[in-house]
Amino acid sequence: MITFTTKYFDELNAIELYQLLQLRSEVFVVEQTCVYQDLDGKDVKCYHVLGYENNVLVAGSRLVPPEVSYKYFPSIGRVATHPNARHKGHGKSLMEYSIAKTKELFQSQTIVISAQSYLDRFYKDLGFIPEGEEYLEDDIPHRKMKLG
């Protein structure tokens, strides 16, 4: 079973921040072999979702306020599930929690994301609708999607 907590950047302790950055590096840099600037300056303006299974961080996302990534709308980004914790429904649970928390924190029914294209069906099943053409972000095909 996975349990979630949400903290603003300043509330993360050193261990939580280290574990979160380690998870993101493992998924986005190592697994996806993508060299990119993860530390983009947005983290300090965001809330962070931490998903634990047996006291081990296995999932995470960042909840981005309006005007940081998208004008007028909040966003969810850096959605990551540890490779050893996949196929247990944690990704779906993480996104359902992140959507509910984003709506609560930012008082918005609309959420915009930049989704990796191979996860198109996953996000559609959560209610997101693709907008516009596919584009490359860090050499990985993405698509803008909107909920609400």
CATH 3.40.630.30 fits 3-147, yes or no: yes
Q: Are strands 56-64 and 75-81 parallel, antiparallel or unpaired?
A: antiparallel
Q: 36 pLDDT exceeds 90?
A: no
Q: 24 pLDDT exceeds 90?
A: yes
Alpha helices by DSSP H, the chain: 14-24, 90-106, 120-125
Is the distance from CB of 63 to CB of 48 less than 8 angstroms? yes
The single residue listed with the structure tokens 């909840």 is 63
pLDDT tens readout for residues 58-96? 999 999 999 999 999 999 999 999 999 999 999 999 999
| Confidence at residue 105, expressed as pLDDT on a 0 to 100 scale | 98
Residue type for position 20: L
